[in-house]
Every structure is written in structure tokens, then in C-alpha cells.
Amino acid sequence: MTKHEILAKLPYGKSFLFVDELLHVDENGAKGAFTYAENLFFYEGHFKNHPVTPAVILTETMAQIGLVCLGIYLLKDNHTEHQLSIAMTSNAIDFLKPVYPGEKVVVTSEKVYFRFNKLNCKVKMENEGGELVCKGNISGMLITKSNG
């Protein structure tokens, strides 16, 4: 499965998609990038006159790149007849630096385990300067549903 095929299978609409490019994916992890455009909907109300990317959005970005893209790759053989649903089941994230509108981040995940369709990954996010923005663990359940 190619990186473009994985991106095409992401279950998010444009307004809630936080993956611009998938840089690498294999059975052990994933790496991707996203730039937070200055006009994203959440900046208007998240700190007047000094917008900062909300922690929940940073977590979602790490989950989309580090967990969902990797999960799609790991379940690649089930995609011809089934649709994939993914639900985050837990996360423990340490936030170290703010991310401002216009910043690009790179997310890297490392698979801790994948069994019984539960995926657990160690994730980290760095800014363009290579500084660690946040890090932690994210888990999710990968569920395939039959089409039709």
C-alpha cells in the first residue's frame, strides 16, 4: 500500500484532516507532517489576540499521523472488502512548547504493540526547528466493517 493510498483512506473531512504528507510508514511506525494554516477554525476562539494551537488538536494530529495512518498500513489486507474505523482509547501526552498559527510540525510514531486490533504507539511531535513540542503514548482500536 502506498503513502497516497493510505492518505486517501483517512476517514476525515477537509476541516478536520491534520495530515499534509506521510513521509514514511512501515510495520514499526509512521512519520508525517502538517502545517497549521493561520485561518483554521479553532484559532478564532483559542486565546483572543494571541492564538495557540489547542492541545486537543495537537493530540489529534499525532493520532491521525502516528496511529491512524499506521493502522491503515497494518490492516492493508482487510481494505478491499472492509471499511476501517478507528477509535482512540487512551492517550498520555506531555506538552512542552506551544504551536502557533502557520507552524509546520512533524509527527513520528513507534509501534509499541498491535494485538487483538488494539494499536499502541509512542508518539512525538517536533517543530520545524527540530524542537520537541509534545510526546507520549496513544492507543486506539482498529475496527473493520463489511461494506454493504
Q: What burial letters (b/e) apply to 16-54, b meaning 16+ CB within 10 Å?
A: eebbeebeebeeebbbbbbebeeeeeebeebeeeebebe
**Residue 105 β-bridge partners:** 34, 127
Residue 7: partners with Cβ closer than 8 Å, 6 or more residues away: 19, 21, 22, 69
Residue of 46, 50, 79, 82 marked active site: 46
Residue 4 annotated to the active site: no
Catalytic residues: 46
